[in-house]
Amino acid sequence: MKQHPQKKVRTDLNPSRLLTFKIDERDVSAHEDESILTVARQNGISIPTLCHLDGLSERGACRLCIIEVKGVAKLLPSCVTFPRQDMEVITNSERVVTYRKKILELLFTERNHVCSVCVSNGHCELQNLAVELGVTHVRYPYLYPRHAVDASHSRFSIDHNRCVLCLRCVRVCDEIEGAHTWDIMGRGITSQVITDLNQPWGTSETCTGCGKCVQVCPTGALSEKGKSVAEMIKRRQFLPYLQMMRGRQDDSWQK
C-alpha cells in the first residue's frame, strides 16, 4: 500500500491545510488531502464511479469520474485529483458526460451483460450508471467473448461474463480481509480476475470464505449461491467500520 504525499495522516501537530475552491460554480471547502470526488460527494454533487469504493485504495482506472478543471486541457480522474485553492472544477460539462457514456458503452460491449437474466438485475451499479447517464443503447459492436462461470465454491460463484475488471474484489481481499486470494492475470482485453494461481475458487487454500468480495462487486459477477434473477442485493455496511478499525481511512493510495 502506498501513501500519497498529499494524504498525510491528520493530527493536531500535523494539520492539513484547508482551502476553498469551486465545483460546478459552487464554493466548497476542503482539506488539501481530500480528493475532488470526496468533496463533491460531501456537497451532494454526484460524479459517477465504478472502480472507486470508499474504504479501498484508489486505482483511477475506470475513467468514469473524469472531470474538467478550468485552465487544464486534460480531463482528470476526480478520485485521485486533489483540490487547489481557487481551482474551478466542472463535473458535468457536455464533454465529460459524452465521454462517460462512451466508456460505459465500451464496458457493455466487453463482456456479456445480459441484465434480464442476471442475479443483480435492479441492484447493479453498471446498470444504474447506464440509467443515470441515459445510455439507452450501445453503438459499438458487442464482442460476445466466451467466459466461464466458476461455481466451485460452496457458497459463492463468479460469472466472468459480468465482470468489469474494477478489481474491488482484489483490493478488499488484500486490504481489508488480508487474504489476497484474488488477483488478476493476463493483460488487455484478455485480463481476468483469478483466485490463487488460477485454481477453482472452491479449492483455494487462501480464501477465508468471508464473502467481502461478493459484497463489494458492483455487478452480478460475484454472487451468493442460491440467488435467482434480481435477488442478489449487495451489503456494504461493513466497509466503513472495518476500514476505520484498520486505521486506513483515507490514506491508502494506489494498488
Partner 1 sequence: MTLNSEDLHQIAKIEKDKQDGFQHRIHVCVAAGCLSCGSGVLMDALGKEVNRRGLDNWCQIKGVGCLGLCAEGPLISLATSGTYYQGVKVSDVSDILDALGGNPVGRLLCPADTAFFKRQVRIVTENCGRIDPERIEEYIAESGYESLYLALTQMTPPEVIEQVTRSGLRGRGGAGYPTGLKWTTVSKAISSTKFIICNADEGDPGAFMDRSVLESDPHRVIEGMAIAGYATGASQGYIYVRAEYPLAVKRVRLALAQAERLGVLGNNIFNTHFNFTIKVRLGAGAFVCGEETALIASIEGRMGRPRPRPPFPAEFGLWEHPTLINNVETFANVPPIIRKGGKWFAGIGTEKSKGTKVFALAGKIVNTGLIEIPMGTPLRDIVFAIGGGIPGGKGFKAVQTGGPSGGCIPEQFLDMPVDYDSLLQVGSIMGSGGMIVMDETSCMVDVAKFFMEFCMSESCGKCAPCRVGTRQIYDILCRITGNQSTPEDLAMLEDLCDLMKNTSLCGLGQSAPNPVLTTLKYFRDEYLSHIHDRTCLAGACKTVVEVS
In the complex, the residues that contact partner 1 under the rule CB under 8 A are: 2-6, 59-63, 66, 74-75, 77, 80, 99, 102-103, 106-107, 109-110, 139-141, 143, 164-165, 184, 186-191, 254
Q: At what angle do helices 125-133 and 94-110 cross, to 10 degrees?
A: 140
Question: What is the smallest separation between the CB atom of 92 and partner 1, expressed in angstroms?
Answer: 16
Considering the complex, what minimum distance in angstroms separates the CB of residue 207 from partner 1? 21
Closest approach of partner 1 to the CB of residue 57, in Å: 11
| φ and ψ at residue 157, rounded to 5 degrees | -145, 160
Nearer of residues 28 and 65 to partner 1, judged by Cβ:
65
Nearer to partner 1, 106 or 149 (CB): 106
> For residues 193 and 216, which CB has a smaller minimum distance to partner 1 in the complex?
193
Looking at the Cβ atoms of 3 and 198, the one nearer to partner 1 is 3
Give the separation between CA 42 and CA 12, rounded to whole angstroms.
Answer: 23
Q: Cell triple for residue 203?
A: 479449492
Q: How far is the CB of 75 from partner 1 (least distance, A)?
A: 6
Of 109 and 249, the one with the shorter C-beta distance to partner 1 is 109
Cβ neighbours, 10 Å, residue 74: 7
The identity of residue 47, as a single letter, is I
- Strands annotated E in the chain: 18-23, 26-31, 66-69, 76-77, 88-90, 149-150, 156-159, 182-185, 192-195, 222-224
In angstroms, give the least distance from the CB of 143 to partner 1. Answer: 7
CB atoms within 10 A of CB 70: 10
Minimum CB separation from partner 1 for residue 105, in Å?
9
Nearer to partner 1, 7 or 153 (CB): 7
Asked if 191 and 165 touch (Cβ cutoff 8 Å), the reply is yes
